[in-house]
Structure 1
Amino acid sequence: MREYAVYKGEELLVIGTAEECADALKVRPEYIRWLTTPTAKRRLSKRKNPEKCVVGDVIS
Protein backbone atom coordinates (compact mmCIF):
# COMPACT_ATOMS: atom_id res chain seq x y z
CA MET A 1 0.00 0.00 0.00
CA ARG A 2 1.36 3.42 -0.95
CA GLU A 3 1.98 6.08 1.63
CA TYR A 4 1.99 9.78 0.93
CA ALA A 5 3.47 12.84 2.63
CA VAL A 6 1.57 16.10 2.17
CA TYR A 7 3.28 19.43 2.78
CA LYS A 8 2.36 23.07 2.72
CA GLY A 9 5.60 24.86 2.02
CA GLU A 10 8.13 23.30 4.42
CA GLU A 11 5.46 22.23 6.95
CA LEU A 12 4.50 18.55 7.01
CA LEU A 13 0.71 18.32 7.19
CA VAL A 14 0.10 14.57 7.19
CA ILE A 15 1.63 11.18 6.34
CA GLY A 16 -0.42 8.09 5.48
CA THR A 17 -2.37 6.36 2.76
CA ALA A 18 -4.28 8.47 0.26
CA GLU A 19 -7.47 7.79 2.21
CA GLU A 20 -5.93 8.75 5.58
CA CYS A 21 -4.44 11.96 4.15
CA ALA A 22 -7.73 12.81 2.46
CA ASP A 23 -9.66 12.33 5.70
CA ALA A 24 -7.23 14.56 7.61
CA LEU A 25 -7.37 17.33 4.99
CA LYS A 26 -11.10 16.98 4.17
CA VAL A 27 -10.47 16.26 0.47
CA ARG A 28 -10.93 13.26 -1.81
CA PRO A 29 -8.25 10.54 -2.07
CA GLU A 30 -7.97 11.26 -5.81
CA TYR A 31 -6.71 14.76 -4.97
CA ILE A 32 -3.92 13.34 -2.80
CA ARG A 33 -2.88 11.02 -5.64
CA TRP A 34 -3.07 13.92 -8.13
CA LEU A 35 -0.67 16.00 -6.00
CA THR A 36 2.09 13.50 -6.82
CA THR A 37 1.69 13.67 -10.61
CA PRO A 38 4.13 15.53 -12.87
CA THR A 39 1.26 17.73 -14.08
CA ALA A 40 0.42 18.86 -10.54
CA LYS A 41 4.06 19.59 -9.72
CA ARG A 42 4.45 21.63 -12.92
CA ARG A 43 1.27 23.64 -12.27
CA LEU A 44 2.15 24.32 -8.65
CA SER A 45 5.69 25.42 -9.49
CA LYS A 46 4.29 28.11 -11.82
CA ARG A 47 2.16 29.70 -9.10
CA LYS A 48 2.94 33.13 -7.74
CA ASN A 49 3.75 31.84 -4.22
CA PRO A 50 4.71 28.16 -4.62
CA GLU A 51 5.88 28.02 -0.98
CA LYS A 52 2.23 28.39 0.07
CA CYS A 53 1.03 25.47 -2.10
CA VAL A 54 0.01 22.07 -0.85
CA VAL A 55 2.26 19.42 -2.42
CA GLY A 56 2.48 15.68 -2.09
CA ASP A 57 5.12 12.99 -2.40
CA VAL A 58 4.94 9.20 -2.46
CA ILE A 59 7.12 7.90 0.37
CA SER A 60 6.61 4.16 -0.09
Structure 2
Amino acid sequence: MVAEYAVYEGDTFLVMGTAKECASWLGVTPKYIQWLTYPAARKRFESRVDKSKCMTAIKLEDDDFE
Protein backbone atom coordinates (compact mmCIF):
# COMPACT_ATOMS: atom_id res chain seq x y z
CA MET A 1 0.00 0.00 0.00
CA VAL A 2 1.24 3.48 -0.88
CA ALA A 3 1.31 6.03 1.95
CA GLU A 4 -0.94 9.07 1.71
CA TYR A 5 -0.21 12.56 2.96
CA ALA A 6 -2.21 15.63 3.90
CA VAL A 7 -0.31 18.83 3.12
CA TYR A 8 -0.98 22.17 4.81
CA GLU A 9 0.34 25.69 4.56
CA GLY A 10 0.01 26.92 8.12
CA ASP A 11 -3.53 25.86 9.10
CA THR A 12 -4.80 25.88 5.50
CA PHE A 13 -5.36 22.47 3.88
CA LEU A 14 -3.75 22.29 0.43
CA VAL A 15 -3.92 18.74 -0.91
CA MET A 16 -4.19 15.08 0.07
CA GLY A 17 -2.85 12.05 -1.79
CA THR A 18 0.30 10.06 -2.38
CA ALA A 19 3.64 11.85 -2.19
CA LYS A 20 3.79 11.82 -6.00
CA GLU A 21 0.28 13.28 -6.39
CA CYS A 22 0.88 16.00 -3.79
CA ALA A 23 4.25 16.86 -5.31
CA SER A 24 2.76 17.15 -8.78
CA TRP A 25 0.00 19.43 -7.51
CA LEU A 26 2.42 21.67 -5.58
CA GLY A 27 5.31 21.68 -8.05
CA VAL A 28 7.83 20.04 -5.71
CA THR A 29 9.46 16.61 -5.50
CA PRO A 30 7.89 13.58 -3.79
CA LYS A 31 10.96 13.44 -1.49
CA TYR A 32 10.11 16.95 -0.27
CA ILE A 33 6.57 15.85 0.67
CA GLN A 34 8.03 12.91 2.60
CA TRP A 35 10.61 15.19 4.26
CA LEU A 36 7.85 17.46 5.55
CA THR A 37 6.79 14.63 7.89
CA TYR A 38 10.27 14.11 9.41
CA PRO A 39 11.07 15.34 12.94
CA ALA A 40 13.56 17.91 11.59
CA ALA A 41 10.89 19.50 9.39
CA ARG A 42 8.36 19.43 12.24
CA LYS A 43 10.87 21.17 14.51
CA ARG A 44 11.49 23.88 11.89
CA PHE A 45 7.75 24.37 11.44
CA GLU A 46 7.15 24.68 15.18
CA SER A 47 9.98 27.19 15.57
CA ARG A 48 8.55 29.53 12.90
CA VAL A 49 6.93 32.74 14.15
CA ASP A 50 4.66 33.06 11.09
CA LYS A 51 3.46 29.53 10.39
CA SER A 52 0.94 30.72 7.78
CA LYS A 53 3.64 30.72 5.09
CA CYS A 54 5.26 27.44 6.09
CA MET A 55 4.33 24.10 4.54
CA THR A 56 3.87 20.97 6.62
CA ALA A 57 2.52 17.48 5.99
CA ILE A 58 0.99 14.63 7.92
CA LYS A 59 1.47 11.01 6.87
CA LEU A 60 -1.91 9.33 7.06
CA GLU A 61 -1.98 5.86 8.57
CA ASP A 62 -4.49 3.08 7.87
CA ASP A 63 -5.99 3.72 11.32
CA ASP A 64 -6.95 7.26 10.25
CA PHE A 65 -9.48 5.88 7.75
CA GLU A 66 -11.42 3.63 10.13
**TM-score in terms of structure 1 length:** 0.91
Q: Please state how far the C-alpha of 1:48 moved relative to its aligned partner.
A: 2.3
Q: Please state how far the C-alpha of 1:52 moved relative to its aligned partner.
A: 2.5
Count of residues paired in the alignment: 60
Q: Deviations over 1:21-50 (max 9, x none)?
A: 000000000000000001100011112212
RCO higher in structure (CA 8 A, sep ≥6): 1
The aligned runs of 1:1-60 (5 Å cut-off) are 1-60=2-61
Identity level (%)? 47
RMSD over aligned CA atoms reads: 1.0
**Structure 2 segments unaligned to the other structure (5+ residues):** 62-66
**Structure 1 segments unaligned to the other structure (5+ residues):** none
Q: Please state how far the C-alpha of 1:51 moved relative to its aligned partner.
A: 3.2
What's the secondary structure of 1:56's corresponding residue?
strand
Alpha-carbon distance between aligned partners in 1 of 2:52 and 2:15, rounded to the nearest angstrom: 17
Q: Which amino acid aligns with 1:7?
A: Y
Alpha-carbon distance between aligned partners in 2 of 1:59 and 1:5, rounded to the nearest angstrom: 7
- Computing the radius of gyration over CA atoms, which structure comes out larger, 1 or 2? 2
